[in-house]
Chains A and B, each alone.
Chain A
Amino acid sequence: MKTRRQFLQTSVMGAAASWTLPTFLNSTIFQLDSMAADSLTQSVNGKDGPILIVLQMGGGNDGLNTLVPYSDDAYYRARTSLAIAKKSVLPINDRFGMNPQLSELKSLYDAGNLAILNGVGYPNPNRSHFRSMEIWQTASESNINERYGWLGRYFDNSCQGAPPTIGVNIGSLPPQAFLGPQPLGIALANANRYKFTDSSTDSSLTMMANEDPSTFSGNNSGSSIDNLGSVASPLQDGMTNTDFLQRTALDAELSSKDIQAITSKVKSPITYPKNRLASDLQLIAQLIAGGLPTRIYYANQGGYDTHANQTGTHNNLMHEFSSALAAFVSDLKEQGNFDRVLIMTFSEFGRRLKENASNGTDHGVAGPMFLLGGKIKAGVHSDYPSLSDLDNGDLKHQVDFRSVYATVLENWLQTKSDPILRKSFPKLAFI
């Protein structure tokens, strides 16, 4: 596996000796010539580097029917049609247990691979999907609009000079969590088609090799009316749109070569269930096995917005979630990579305790998070929130999700969390 830098050196530098570097490359990757960056690239590529997989449960997962407070009458009173019967719950402790569709996840818990956090949320919760998702993805205060994602800030802070595949989103558009001052990370919906139909002429690298750095300032626009408004193409995040597009094309080209190389030779020995999440996780397992130098994978399972006739939909989602994760974990164990991996799941909010009039549930606040991995400290790391001490009908959060992020950044990704989260948060004990 080549880093971006090695690739440029071997393929392009060799081919075009007279090539001068485009400005944006100069200001990003090739500042790496400093030794610090060199060592970082090395450690990013190290086979033993830790990997974080973020699994987003989009739509607002009903935490109360995921981890069921089966010993609490208040639960059964509030959910006369949706409650899961005590006898079918898979008990974790004497207070709560898992949804029966999560049997495979329960086995992982029993095997010591799963940590559970109950009641995760944030102060002054927002019940709008996209706003709450934004808060989770940017790790901002709920009254502040933050542009960059927490992982984007991590890339920017700790992964300067890394290849584009440092972050891989499964899906064709990256989440806001990846957005940072410099584009890093790729978006990949389907490995088979993650390639250029014509790879011979479409070479951003060849194009650059033929060009002079001055054309890369993005200023060749509007040349016919240049006597007006002398503003140059505005910089956004420190680069012009042309630079941004050129950079993305370059990232696409380099990552596509890497990913094609891996998927053509690495096949998974495990049979995955047939669902979207499973095939996304299978792709991640394939890329891990192939040694893609990735620190962060991001996957998404949608459909949790269960306002009406929740039971069938939610059970299907739970089953999909549990069976896909179980296959994924077996695959990683088989590969011998499970110790390098931490899987973290979250949803933008939980749902209200009281069911609504359409056999569904409305947007709530706090919900559970799961953390899986070979090095995890298994067990229940925060108590189930009270069902009687509610905030406006919703469970109160007792763990700030940014504490979870801080723990992951510090104890798993081995980087300082304060500059990324803009504040210090207490660490938890799950790693």
Chain B
Amino acid sequence: MLEAFPPQLWNRSTAAHLLKRAGFGTSPEQLDLWTSLGLDTAVDRLVDWELTEDPTAEPDWAQPAFGYPFQNKKELQGLSEDERRELFKEYQKTQRKNSQDLRERWLNRFLTTPRPLQEKLTLFWHGHFATSIRKVKISYFMWKQLDLFRRFGNGSYENLLMEVARDPAMLIWLDGTDSNDKAPNENFARELMELFTLGEGHYTEEDVKESARAFTGWRVDRFSQTATFNPKRSDRGSKKFLGQRGSFNDQDIIRIILQQEQAAQHICTKLWTFFAYENPSPQLMEALAATFRESKMELKPLLKKLFRSQEFYSAQALNNQIKSPVQWWVSSLKNIASHSPATHLGTRILTQLGQSLLEPPSVKGWDGGRTWISTSTLMLRHNTAHYMLYGGTAAELGIGDNFKRLAFANQAKKINPEPTTVAPNTEMEEQPTPEPTTKLANKLLNRSMPALTELAQLAPPELRLDRSKLINTLSERFLQNIPDPKLSAFLENSLPQKSEPVTDQELKKLLYQIMTRPEYQLT
């Protein structure tokens, strides 16, 4: 098991598979380059991403307390209730703007990063630690957590967990900030074991209670926007945890968790499912876990083992993973040679497709696989493909709902004059800010947006003369595969039989056929 994939089988097809899974797919030109590197070098280059220059700039607001209206408690108390509320409202507005900025920057980064695995893995950790801005509220904290994943995502698993335990977004998300020695909150301790490291059945309720005590003392200081440790709020007493006894702190608890046999198995299974395929055999996972333990739970050797294994290139893995909405969107933009990253539209479509960035649906993250697909989301994938090729309106894509909901929210307020606190589950965009009217909503909904595809780049004139070459080229680009004879025949049938070059209209129709194939939903 986990034998190295034979180098003589490395070709454009296998390289494409690696780049799709360890990244978001690639252009034909880039694919030639990756293929020429050979398997080992290609994997090294992906995993050792620090060696690749990344010029991506960070947003200017990505620093602690940026724009926060108060320096300290005294300043806050010096203001009247109304003044305070006004300033907070203004601050929240900025946060909504920044959170959208962060989403769009990230979406653009998926598309342009010179370190594809870094972003793919950051998306994995985002789904694994599943922290949502709905509760965290402050964009800087979300940015900081993603930055943490970028910096520690391929390093020591232990370090990653220790960083996460003291990460401000996590402290807010799983109530560490509300926890102290007198009333330890169990939320983080429970999810740490149940979801992040061990899985249900590998710890007891008592272990949850005891370890919750060890995480006390850490809070997020609202003025400096940093995680701070207050020894007075921390429980230094003796704890009994997973069969050991001592005055454990948070780091001790993480070390003890990682001593459990199950810890390696748990994370290996999650990574394998994300990168290779669902329901791997327990034997395979034990083999992978064994190598992970041998390498002292360093992630780089694990990732290299995974991407070089025969099983990763087996029929069970190839072209059989249902694309996540992010994967579908980003690889589609690459496939159609989009002239724009279309990030604003993209974030909204992702929400409709069930993968709202920065807002995983629960602490469990996204289930993935077939749960991405419903009649609605599949229809929207088809309609989005249509929009990419032909252009269209927001209404057709169903992404103008926010405007309508906003209008609802405003009217609802009039019906019920109770003071409204924001329910934790309401989307940030839904909070009534300006005054959207149905008229404005309709205008925005029906504004026509241009197509994204660059047809000239996809199919230069000479290619349009040779129908089967055109189909093979496009199939390889879109499906990363030369289609079988049946699919080829089907695609050829969708082009009119004549000797003139294929027109733009015919080309769009052909591309739409390809992008609405079931095979196109797989990667």
Binding site for B on A (CB under 8 A): 58-59, 128-130, 164, 169, 172-174, 186-190, 192-198, 201-202, 207, 210-212, 215, 220-234, 236, 241-242, 244-246, 248-249, 251-252, 255-256, 273-276, 279, 302-309, 311-313, 315-317, 319-320
Contact = CB atoms under 8 A, between A and B. Distances in A.
A14 B445 CA distance: 39
Nearest to A249: B378
B383 A196 contact: yes
A224 B412 contact: no
A251 B375 contact: yes
A267 B473 CA distance: 49
Contacts of B14: 225
Contacts of A229: 310-311, 313-316
Interface of B: 9, 11, 13-14, 190, 277-279, 310-311, 313-316, 318-320, 322, 352-354, 362-364, 370-371, 373-380, 382-383, 386-387, 390, 392, 395-398, 401, 405, 407-408, 411-412, 415-416, 418-426, 481-484, 486-487, 490, 493-494, 509, 512-513, 516-519, 521-522
A209 B430 CA distance: 44
Contacts of B371: 173
B159 to A, nearest CB: 28
A197 B399 CA distance: 14
B284 to A, nearest CB: 12
B487 A274 contact: no
A251 to B, nearest CB: 5
Contacts of A193: 383, 395-398
Given A198-B512, A252-B375, A313-B421, A189 B398 contact: yes
A246 B518 contact: yes
Contact of B382 (A164, A186, A196): A196
Nearest to B480: A224
Given A224-B481, A246-B518, 14 more contacts: A186-B375, A186-B376, A194-B376, A197-B382, A197-B387, A221-B320, A224-B482, A229-B311, A231-B316, A249-B378, A303-B423, A303-B425, A305-B425, A315-B416
B137 to A, nearest CB: 13
Given A273-B415, A315-B416, A248 B373 contact: yes
A399 to B, nearest CB: 26
Contacts of B380: 172
B362 A129 contact: yes
Contacts of A319: 415-416
Contacts of A207: 490, 517
A211 B407 CA distance: 47
A303 B378 contact: no
Contacts of A305: 423-425
Given A225-B313, A242-B519, A313-B421, A220 B416 contact: no
A304 B378 CA distance: 30
B504 to A, nearest CB: 15
A215 B395 contact: no
B352 A303 contact: no
B386 A173 contact: no
B379 A252 contact: yes
